[in-house]
Every structure is written in C-alpha cells, then in structure tokens.
Amino acid sequence: MNSNQAPATTRPQVKRERRLEKRKLLLRDLVRDRWMYLMLLPGVLYFIVFKYVPMYGVTMAFQDYKPHTGFFGSPWVGFKHFERFFSEPQFWMLFRNTIILALYNLIFFFPLPIILALMLNELRRERFKRFVQTLIYIPHFVSWVVVVGIFYILFTTENGILNEIIYQITGEKIAFLLEKDWFRTMIVSQSIWKEVGWGTVIFLAALAGVDLQQYEAARIDGAGRWRQLWHITLPAIRSTIIILLILRLGNFLDSGFEQIFLMITPTNREVSEVFDTYVYTKGMTQAQYSYSAAVGLFKSFVGLVLVLGSNWMAKRFGEEGVY
C-alpha cells in the first residue's frame, strides 16, 4: 500500500521542482541575452500600444458610437452596421475594385522581388551588386506623395515627359492619370517601382543561408546555372516564399489608402473606390465612426480567414506555415 502511495505523494514535489527549474532557465536566458531583449523592447511596446490596445475599439462596430458618451455610454446595436454595409448599392463595386486590385498586385508584384533576388544572387562582383541593391532600395524610402508627383510629371497630358514622346510618335496624347482603363496599371506600376527592391531583402537573406557546397557538388555533376537554380536555389527559399505569401494574403484587402487616395479623380472613381477610401469617407468626412469600424472589421475578418485557410493548405501539402 505504501509503495503505491509513494509516487502520488512525490508527484506534486516533482512538478514544483520542474517549475522552479524552468523559472531558473528563463531567468538565466533573460540575464544572458538581456541586451537582445532590450533592443526588442521598443518593437514589443509599439505593437502593444498601437496594435493591441486599440483592439478594444472593435466594440465600436457593434455600437451606435457617440464621442461624447464614449464606449461605455454608447448603445449596442448588434450587427446593424454590417447589415447596412452589405445592403449598400456600392458594396459590390467596392468589393470588385478591391479584389481586382489585390489580384493585380499579387500576380504582377509578388513574384518580382523573388526574380530580382535570384538575379542579384547571380552577380559575382560585390561592388556592383551593392550598388544595384542601394539603387533599388532607395524608392522604398520615398513617400507616396513624391511617387505620385513623379508619375504626374511623367504621364500628365499637359506636359508629361512620356506623353510628349508618345505625342511626337503617334500625334496623340493618352490620359494615363484620368482614364479609368489606366488606373490599375498606374497603381501596380507605382507599387513595383517603389517596393520591389525592398521586397528582395528577405529573399536575399534566405539565399545567403544556402550551403555553397551544394552548388559545387552540382557543378561537379555537370549541372548548369538553370538546373542549380531549379533544384537548389528555389527549394532553399520555398518555405520563405510560402510564409510571405500567407502573410500577404492577410493584407489582401488592404489596397494602400494613401497611394489610391492621391490617384483618385472624378473620371476614374468607378474603378478606384476601394474599401480603404470608403472607410475614410464614412469615418473621417462623415463622422460615421461605428459604420466605418464595421467595414474595417469586415476587412480584418476576411484577412484572418485567408491567413488561416492558406496556412492550413500549406501544412496539408507538407510545407511550413506561419504557426
């Protein structure tokens, strides 16, 4: 009887010892890597203050929010704002414009940083490689106001540089910035020029981790550059590509407010009005805070579904997910 009771009496003590051991290990790691955690602290505080704390504002989507009564004094209205949004005549136009623009960016923009990173990885002259990297990184630090201004100088029908060249060749000018048929092309072109270089950073970091001995062994076996790329390089960064694709799908409905807002004109509004600009119009100019919060929450919910779905698909096919 005593032999059977002994393990039961010592089990809580073993658990306590394990907990103490884990705490000691955690404290030791904190002391050892204290400078790394200290550098991490500003980023953590940023997400807590600007991402997690404002999440309480999600309740606004289910209230008839009034600034003078606050969150606790505003009446609850349930799904009233969502029902109104889905029944709006503009809903399908907004949904179509946002989806098409997101697909354009996904199809034409997402692969380019990968291709550019692979091309940079093939450069053997380090000085030239660094020069090219610096050249393609600079546009990332240029504001959208400046980018749109540059495109205006190039494409305006009045005295745009490229439009003048087109006029000299064809005798006609094209209203790139006014015609709705050119709006999406302009948006994607601006995104590519501004962000494609910066998008190569993560892929170049992944390529730096590829074992060079694999390339040497492949060359000995007679593999050329193309076969090395296909059988060594791409498989090495495949998990990085999948993770970034999953994260990008989480922001699938984020069209980029500032860029689109600067490009909207009365003549292209039919294709340029998206969820982001609609939220701004309703929330900031018409003070419909609860309604705009409901639209924003709908966007976030769709992004969450896309992330969970794509992550599940990635794991189902044996790839790494984001969690």
- In the chain, where the domains are located: 1-32, 89-316
Amino acid symbol at 19: R
* CB-CB contact of 55 with 236 (8 Å): no
Measured distance CA(233)–CA(223) in Å, rounded: 13
Query: Over the stretch 234-284, which tens digit does the pLDDT of each residue have?
Result: 888 888 899 888 888 888 888 888 899 999 988 888 999 999 999 999 988
Look at residue 111 in the predicted model and tell me its pLDDT: 92
CA 184, 188, 191: angle at the middle one, nearest 5? 145
Instruction: Supply the pTM of this predicted model.
Output: 0.80
Percentage of the chain lying above the pLDDT 90 cut: 29
Q: Summarize the confidence of residues 12-25 as an average pLDDT.
A: 80
Q: What is the CATH number of domain 89-316?
A: 1.10.3720.10
List pLDDT tens digits, range 81-134: 999 999 999 999 999 999 999 999 999 999 999 999 999 888 888 889 889 999
Residue 178 has pLDDT above 50, yes or no: yes
Cβ-defined contacts of 71-77 (< 8 Å, 24+): 74/290, 77/290
Phi, psi of 276 (to 5 degrees): -60, -45
Average pLDDT score, the chain: 86
